Copies of this chain bind each other. A is one copy, B any other.
């Protein structure tokens, strides 16, 4: 069972859940573009996923070799123009909306997470350079990144500075000719070295001499592997990690300036490097959420195909061995996988649509909405990716534990998603402490109001196929509303820990309510289509799935609300329980 890009489901979600900017691209155009992208994902990128895991990327003499077929696939990807889908046409991009680019990102990563990660890093580099690079730097490098001729990396982490960038020690010294010498060691640098392109542009956080301590003394530099004069810069890959998953994606330790200093150019202003990183962080975090959606979709497809094939036991009413998809318990697992995946897709596309809308008349309110939704898109989608890929193993039974089946790889690969680009704990803290207070709380209240509107639409729909969907959605949204009030009140008090203690269950609750609203919106659109005479069986499937989510997964909301509003006492006593 190989991955098939779920083009029609993606297009339906774009058209009926998130919306796409109609002036930029029609639904028909979106479908044509995604169908073409799907061909590349299914036919070229997905077939390298298993072999890439087995081979892995290897390091010898500071050079990294990607697995067989990787270079050819990357060439097909860039020659198709897919790398610059959302980028500025002035630099060779296609200028398409974030929503469309989100669907494409889901595809590359559903096909092959280790492969999809490389252009994802380049996308971050494009954003940083576009927003903060000088005209000269842009002219020299941006078109190379947009075309994918060269790739970009993010050099943040150091051994003593993971989530905490204030502890960063890499340093930069001005040479006097406008360049800087960069000296320092970085770890966990994704695609820090590889053989896919002739050059790699490293975006490196470092401190200037006499810079303020902490995060206000960090600057961002562009440090190319190959200098403009064709010579090699003073930087090298000193090691690659032996990891649980994404074996084909080289995770490098990088040594800058062992020979005296790697030459780099300042991006943005001195000591404002963190602000530059934040620019790209929102879209990078959304992209990681989309990786979660992609790998969850891949696991769901694989498990479903296995369950339709594998015969074991007799389901109620059958006279011979049934395919295991006929057993109620297996159905529960598969529906859970499918429903979580669709909910996460809805949330991620909604976030991309808010980014698109920020460029339109809605402006700042949409930008704030994107900021609010981003940590949910990242953390909820990647949490469910872990759960869905683990369920994928479970559906396979003993075969799931055998590596050859491929289900286990998806679980191993997915495990990094909740950790990198800000751990999911950090996403939860970001949501509670920085995003809820946005615009005095009106951003989150508006988002809850939008969910309520969907619930009202359900209440008007008396179709028995919707079951308890309306009251469950209503109850979930009210739980979220009360929990939101609690978090805002706790923040306003002088006990921030009381808010942080509930940050993780609060994010999950937000994801469940928002995800249920997305699925309900899809179900209402499907119902309308059926009533208008359309016969696509996928419409009925959407209603069943939304109902399953509302009746079986969303009820967790009440317990999460209780954990947020009444569970935080542990912060005063955790030290006692964790002393040993």
* Chain A residues engaging chain B, CB cutoff 8 angstroms: 157, 162-164, 166-167, 187-188, 241-245, 304, 307, 312-313, 316, 321, 325, 327-335, 338, 386, 390, 393-394, 397-398, 400-404, 408, 411-412, 415-416, 418-420, 423-425, 428-429, 467-468, 496-497, 500-501, 503-505, 537-538, 540-541, 544-545, 547-548, 551-560, 562-563, 566-571, 573-574, 576-580
Q: How far is the CA of A503 from the CA of B548 in the complex (A)?
A: 15
Contact of A419 among B166, B335, B401 (CB under 8 A): B401
Cβ contact within 8 Å between B164 and A425? no
User: Is B551 in contact with A566, judged by CB distance below 8 angstroms?
Assistant: yes
Docked complex Cα distance between A471 and B199 (Å): 63
CB-CB nearest in chain B for A308: B578
Residues in B neighbouring A241, C-beta threshold 8 A:
401-402
Interface residue from B331, B563, B578 paired with A574 (Cβ < 8 Å)? B331
Contact assessment for A244 and B403 in the assembled complex, using a CB-CB cutoff below 8 Å:
yes
In whole angstroms, how far apart are the Cα atoms of A331 and B566 in the complex?
16
A576 in complex: contacting residue of B505, B541, B573, CB < 8 Å: B541
A504, B332: Cβ atoms closer than 8 Å: yes
Give 16 A-B pairs besides A316-B496, A397-B419 with Cβ atoms closer than 8 angstroms: A164-B313, A167-B312, A242-B402, A245-B401, A316-B500, A329-B429, A332-B501, A335-B574, A394-B424, A398-B419, A467-B569, A547-B569, A547-B573, A548-B567, A551-B567, A555-B559
Decide: A425 near B394, CB < 8 A? Known: A541-B577, A574-B335, A578-B335. yes
With most chain B CB atoms within 10 A of its CB, the pick from A386, A394, A553 is A394
13 chain-A/chain-B pairs, Cβ below 8 angstroms: A162-B312, A242-B404, A245-B401, A327-B425, A328-B571, A332-B570, A335-B570, A335-B577, A401-B419, A541-B576, A551-B567, A555-B563, A555-B567
Kindly report how many copies of this chain are found in the complex they form together: 2
Inter-chain CA distance A553–B390, complex, in Å, is 21
A541 close to B425 (CB less than 8 A):
no
A419 to B504, CA, bound (A): 29
**A544 to B579 alpha-carbon distance, docked (Å):** 12
Chain B residues near A386 (CB, 8 Å)? Answer: 390
Closest B residue to A245 by CB, please name it: B401
Contact present for A571 and B331 (CB under 8 Å)? yes
A188 in contact with B398 given A537-B576, A544-B577 (CB within 8 Å): yes
Task: Find the B residue at minimum CB distance from A188.
Answer: B398
Cα–Cα, bound, A31→B188 (Å): 45
A555-B562 in contact (CB<8A): yes
Output the least CB separation between A577 and chain B (Å): 4
A378 to chain B, nearest CB (A): 14
Known: A386-B390, A394-B423. A244 touches B401 (CB 8 A): yes
**A570 adjacent to B541 (CB under 8 Å):** no
Tell whether, in the assembled complex, residue A163 and residue B397 are in contact, meaning their CB atoms are under 8 Å apart.
Answer: yes
Which residues of chain B are within 8 angstroms of A555 by Cβ–Cβ distance? 558-560, 562-563, 567
CA distance A578 to B331 in the complex (A): 8
Bound-state CA distance A214–B395 (Å) is 24
Q: Which residues of B contact A468 (CB under 8 A)?
A: 566
Q: Give complex CA distance A390, B386 in Å.
A: 9
Report the minimal beta-carbon distance from A78 to chain B, rounded to whole angstroms: 28
Q: How far is the CA of A552 from the CA of B560 in the complex (A)?
A: 8
Report the separation of the CA atoms of residues A188 and B402 in the bound assembly, to the nearest whole angstrom: 10
Q: Which of B312, B497, B538, B541 contacts A163 (CB 8 A)?
A: B312
Residue of B nearest to A496 (CB): B316
Cβ–Cβ contact A329 & B467, under 8 A: no
CB distance from A242 to the nearest CB of B (A): 5
Alpha-carbon gap, A167 to B320, bound state (A) = 10
B-side contacts of A393, CB under 8 Å? 244, 415, 419
Contacts of A188 in B (CB 8 A): 398
Option from B401, B411, B538, B570 in Cβ contact (under 8 Å) with A331:
B570
A579 to B540, CA, bound (A): 11
A343: shortest Cβ distance to chain B, in Å? 14
Q: What is the CB-to-nearest-CB distance from A77 to chain B, in angstroms, rounded to a whole number?
A: 25
Please determine whether B559 and A338 come into contact, CB atoms closer than 8 angstroms.
no
- Contact between chains at A242 and B403 (CB < 8 Å): yes
Tell me which of B312, B428, B570 contacts A548 (CB under 8 A). B570
Say yes or no: B423 contacts A397, CB within 8 Å.
yes
